[in-house]
Structure 1
Amino acid sequence: MAEDKKKKSISKGRREALKTLATVPVLGVMAYGVYKKEKNERSKRLAADMFRFKEKPVPPPVTDGKRIRIGIIGYGIRGKDLMNALGFSTPQHVEDLKTAWKSNAQDSRYKDFMEQEDLNVEITAVCDIFDKHAEEAMAAGANIHREGLNGKYGPTPKRYRNYKELLAADDVDAVIIATPDHWHGTMTIDALKAGKDVYCEKPMTWTVPETYMVREAVRTSNRVFQLGHQNRQIETYNRAREIVERGLLGPVTLVETSTNRNDPNGAWVYPIDPEANPKTIDWKQFEGDPERIKEYLDYMTSAGLAKYIGPDSRDKFNLERFFRWRCWWDYSTGLSGDLLTHEYDAVNQILQLGIPDSASSSGGIYFFKDGRTVPDVLHTVYEYKDRNLSMLYSATLASEFNRSRKIMGHDATMEIGSTLSVTVDPRSEQYKDQIEKGVIKPGQPFYTYTPGQKDVDAISSATQLYFAQRGLLYSYVNGKRFNTTFLHIKEWLDCIRSGRKPSCGIEEGFQEAMTAHMGTRAYLEGRTMYWDRDKEQIVRG
């Protein structure tokens, strides 16, 4: 009965309000409209004043435009992307892009690729242990004019069957490493010792011990090292960093970031090539460097984690493991090394967090029960005591529900992806007067920044969708759209020529690697891991 009376009262109130509005003179309605418009304009002016940014300075042109000779190690999924960013693709891929563009004018990948700046590089050497991938890399490297089938191609790069032979080549100045995780550290160290500049895909290392070794090798090499976090080139993140630095969010106490995917491709169940077999794949070389493997096996055994090791895998040829290697700790760094590192590096460049004081993780194999040993659901909490801040990473490979990256301050929360928005907190002290005056409406985006991107085209997999939502596919420079991987590789090449410091060098890489390893070990050992800043060591709780 009380509920019915309440509903009748609300209904009556609405009717009375409508009657009142009907009696308001036209001028009164117009005056209210003017007032509302002025209030909105005041809000917009305030936002414009608060969020006025300086344009990011463009680095001076590189004076020494020498041609750089590059060797490619690994031409799988990511290796192809990196070669495309260099300006090299197989004739068949160019044909496919052209066909897609003709059938869909909004698919601008062909146009973007053809208009991409010439980076003045030459692919002189390729190495892949799968014959088909090696042959494709050679065809891409010879396609110097970015032509389709039946085009005029240049010299074919030399194929090396072992990466050490490639590193010994005199006509290789720099290398790009796009191999499975368990090879990253070993190949980086060997390349630096051979006097090559290095671009290595993330994560930087597979194990904790080799993380120190890579750092030492870079510091003593006098070569340029760039870790492949292309999000360093995203303009949205630069703007987010300035918002934090100017205190517009107030004290930041919590960061939430996540990865959601929901299909086999996103869970690393990649297709198995029908041409793959023991005769076309060097399985022994795929398995890894014996010394690093022994270190890994010794650690897993001493920590009581032998159950995570595939005991027979290293002697038996296995196509599933070769193409879907991310699913096993024997070759992978799991969600921490693959996807958490993207999120961590984005937050780290905005907040300058560094290595956390502690890490706690939980999760498991909840959906993809296909023999994998790495989890498909993971939650990791990093604590930064001196910053009075926690960072929460949460991931599932069995749901595509979109969760934005949030940096939560006492006065406002910033959400960052392909766009950026700032929402003022109702309890804000910094904006209390503006809230009371009605200039700022809490709970709604007060400031929004959208780069020039209108559409996300050619999304063909869960991985690409994730990259697009996170702003990892494209960035904008002076209003023009660029592939972020192209910008990141270009920066690396410019640093080689000029001596400048790359944005994701060894110090940033060391922070990324140790942070990811802390999360992984916390999950594997079921205990909190701590960082001893004086000794620079991960210690068990």
Structure 2
Amino acid sequence: MSDVKKFSRRDVVKTLATIPVLGALGYGVLKKIDSQKKKVYNIADDLGLNLYDEPELISSKGGQTIRLGIIGTGGRGKYLLEAAGFAHPDTVKHWRDQFQINKSDTRYGDYMGQDDLNIEIRGVCDIFDVHAEQALLSASNAAKATSLDEVSPGVTRYRNYRDLLKAPDIDAVIIATPDHWHAQMGIDAAKAGKHIYIEKGLTRTVEEAFALRETVKETGVVFQLGHQGRQTASFNKAKQLIDKNILGKISLIEVCTNRNDPNGAWVYPIHPEANENTIDWKQFTEPTKHHPFSAERFFRWRCWWDYGTGLGGDLLTHEYDAINQVLQLGIPHSAVASGGIYFFKDGREVPDVFQSVFEYPERDLTMVYSASLANEHYRGKVIMGHDATMRMENKLEIFPDNRSTQYRKQLDAGLISSNQAMITYEPGRNTLDGTTSATEQYFASRGLLYTHVQGKRVNTAHLHIKEWLECIRQNKQPSCNIDQAFEEAITAHMATIAYRENRKVYWDADKEEII
């Protein structure tokens, strides 16, 4: 057998260059071959990553039936009822009709495909009569029917949440009221022995966060804060990848909220039947300053400090909790903030442009949050490490850094490039998106509306409630328990205090106080 001479790429190029007509063509073929090699190369294999392995699903079979009460059945409460399997019949019918018109609108199929959580809604409480009456029909609709003539005799409307908490046939409560009621209702529920699912942000004030944490721990009830991003597949995958040091040393995190429509800025519609006769205004204002009746304040409460904490306590918390879920950052050492009311000059007190910087010196990193409610330029969550940068939303992408140490060989060989994602994870990427409104699309892109489990699109709030219920049955701690909730609350309060007092604030971890 004769020896076969091996040619390098340089030799081939030199040879082709001597053939004037075919040289360019031949080099193009060579480039095509190189390109194909790059396509075949998969860095995930080199790193030993199985991107599409899925964790075991939380069981929804067996266990005792849990009897629920829901306090606050407006926009968010209605959504949580749907996530739990109790949509209003008119809503179910609307979804079904929309699917007949547009097959990419999968809301009906998603809802009908949700697991039966083995729960009963025994009590609903809302101080707006219209919302309460709608919730009664929703709570009666465990069969997911498209029509319902009367309320189930097993469902009771309560006009005051304290009466609902006294009910012996209620084991647990979902609290979806404005923020200024979260703490007191949570404390009272815990003392009544009711397990608690409470919407974010945790509390309106720092003092309330301490009081609620203390009571939950003393009573031992199972507590879940409503950050459904804890169930987003891409967020959980991000944690796995970062735990494997895929990004290298992380030094900077940027997160944002950008929206550009009145609904996204909390200018919600005012119901035509809202008046002093249909709304218990005295009860609404009980925990805070009393103002004359205002339907605007009732429906757009997030715009005033009396009832909420603005962008810091509302939308920042989504972004912070996602990062805390992945990196376990905890409470920052310090925070500064700035912003103002730049666009929505409608009488609101909270800013519509807001930014805050959080320092973690013990981790050698900074997290930057910025938000505008008058521009929807998409920026997303970006985690920057020495070796790579992660863009973390419903779609997860990792880009190598040109100066990476860890990926130097692959970069030099042209196998990966900083201009292209070297790792992409997008569960359900071949499914159709049935979201309709700008706000729905915003939350969907951030992985906060639905996720994909074993190829099936699932409401993340459904999974979050499901996790809470199974933890009640098994006496376990859910993913966003009171400790995680407390970290969220203090971080958000630090940003709000820094903005309102125009100063840098610090967290004294030993004394557990903001200074």
**TM-score normalized by structure 2?**
0.93
Instruction: Give the conservation status (yes or no) of the 8 Å contact 1:71–1:175.
Output: yes
Name the structure 1 match of 2:34.
Answer: 35
| Cα distance, 1:260 vs structure 2 | 0.4
Instruction: Give the conservation status (yes or no) of the 8 Å contact 1:529–1:538.
Output: yes
Name the structure 1 match of 2:437.
Answer: 460
SS at match of 2:358: strand
- Specify whether residues 29 and 401 from structure 1 end up closer, same or farther in structure 2 by C-alpha distance, changes over 3 A only: closer
Name the structure 1 match of 2:408.
Answer: 432
- Specify whether residues 423 and 60 from structure 1 end up closer, same or farther in structure 2 by C-alpha distance, changes over 3 A only: closer
Q: Deviations over 1:406-450 (max 9, x none)?
A: 000011100011100000111111111221111122232111111
Aligned amino acid, residue 387 of structure 1: R
Instruction: Give the conservation status (yes or no) of the 8 Å contact 2:359–2:367.
Output: yes
Are residues 1:48 and 2:45 paired? Answer: yes
Q: What's the Cα RMSD here?
A: 2.0
- Specify whether residues 278 and 458 from structure 1 end up closer, same or farther in structure 2 by C-alpha distance, changes over 3 A only: same
SS at match of 2:473: helix
- Specify whether residues 40 and 206 from structure 1 end up closer, same or farther in structure 2 by C-alpha distance, changes over 3 A only: same
Question: In 2, Cα distance between the equivalents of 1:323 and 1:57?
Answer: 40
Aligned amino acid, residue 527 of structure 1: R
Instruction: Give the conservation status (yes or no) of the 8 Å contact 1:69–1:121.
Output: yes
SS at match of 1:240: helix
Q: Deviations over 1:367-421 (max 9, x none)?
A: 0000000000000000000111000000000001111210000111000111000
Question: In 2, Cα distance between the equivalents of 1:459 and 1:51?
Answer: 39
1:264-283 aligned at under 5 Å gives the runs 264-283=262-281
Aligned mate of 2:397, from 421, 445, 461 = 421
1:109-508 aligned at under 5 Å gives the runs 109-149=107-147, 154-155=152-153, 157-289=155-287, 293=288, 314-453=290-429, 454-462=431-439, 464-508=440-484
Aligned amino acid, residue 200 of structure 1: I
Aligned amino acid, residue 181 of structure 2: W
Are residues 1:510 and 2:486 paired? Answer: yes
| Cα distance, 1:23 vs structure 2 | 2.9
SS at match of 1:374: coil
Aligned amino acid, residue 432 of structure 2: D
SS at match of 1:359: strand
**Where do 5+ consecutive residues of structure 1 fail to align?**
1-16, 294-312
| Cα distance, 1:103 vs structure 2 | 0.8
Aligned amino acid, residue 189 of structure 2: A
**TM-score normalized by structure 1?**
0.89
Aligned amino acid, residue 435 of structure 2: A
Query: Which shows bigger deviation, 393-402 or 473-482?
Result: 473-482
Instruction: Give the conservation status (yes or no) of the 8 Å contact 2:60–2:116.
Output: no
Instruction: Give the conservation status (yes or no) of the 8 Å contact 2:141–2:148.
Output: no
Q: Deviations over 1:154-184 (max 9, x none)?
A: 4351111000000000111100000001001
Question: In 1, Cα distance between the equivalents of 2:89 and 2:97?
Answer: 12
| Cα distance, 1:87 vs structure 2 | 0.5
- Specify whether residues 33 and 71 from structure 1 end up closer, same or farther in structure 2 by C-alpha distance, changes over 3 A only: same
- Specify whether residues 20 and 383 from structure 1 end up closer, same or farther in structure 2 by C-alpha distance, changes over 3 A only: farther
SS at match of 2:23: coil
Instruction: Give the conservation status (yes or no) of the 8 Å contact 2:357–2:369.
Output: yes
Instruction: Give the conservation status (yes or no) of the 8 Å contact 1:249–1:408.
Output: yes
**Where do 5+ consecutive residues of structure 2 fail to align?**
1-15
Name the structure 2 match of 1:3.
Answer: none
Question: In 2, Cα distance between the equivalents of 1:74 and 1:124?
Answer: 14
| Cα distance, 1:40 vs structure 2 | 3.2
| Cα distance, 1:51 vs structure 2 | 5.9
Question: In 2, Cα distance between the equivalents of 1:493 and 1:378?
Answer: 36
| Cα distance, 1:148 vs structure 2 | 1.1
Instruction: Give the conservation status (yes or no) of the 8 Å contact 1:249–1:413.
Output: yes
- Specify whether residues 430 and 82 from structure 1 end up closer, same or farther in structure 2 by C-alpha distance, changes over 3 A only: same
| Cα distance, 1:62 vs structure 2 | 6.6
| Cα distance, 1:37 vs structure 2 | 1.5
- Specify whether residues 53 and 104 from structure 1 end up closer, same or farther in structure 2 by C-alpha distance, changes over 3 A only: same
Question: In 2, Cα distance between the equivalents of 1:230 and 1:216?
Answer: 23
Query: Which shows bigger deviation, 433-442 or 371-380?
Result: 433-442
Aligned amino acid, residue 48 of structure 1: D
| Cα distance, 1:152 vs structure 2 | 8.4
- Specify whether residues 366 and 26 from structure 1 end up closer, same or farther in structure 2 by C-alpha distance, changes over 3 A only: closer
Aligned mate of 2:88, from 84, 87, 90 = 90
Question: In 2, Cα distance between the equivalents of 1:49 and 1:214?
Answer: 47
| Cα distance, 1:28 vs structure 2 | 5.6
Question: In 1, Cα distance between the equivalents of 2:20 and 2:121?
Answer: 74
Q: Deviations over 1:230-280 (max 9, x none)?
A: 000011011111111111111100000000010110000000000111000
| Cα distance, 1:212 vs structure 2 | 0.7
SS at match of 2:374: coil
Instruction: Give the conservation status (yes or no) of the 8 Å contact 1:327–1:372.
Output: yes
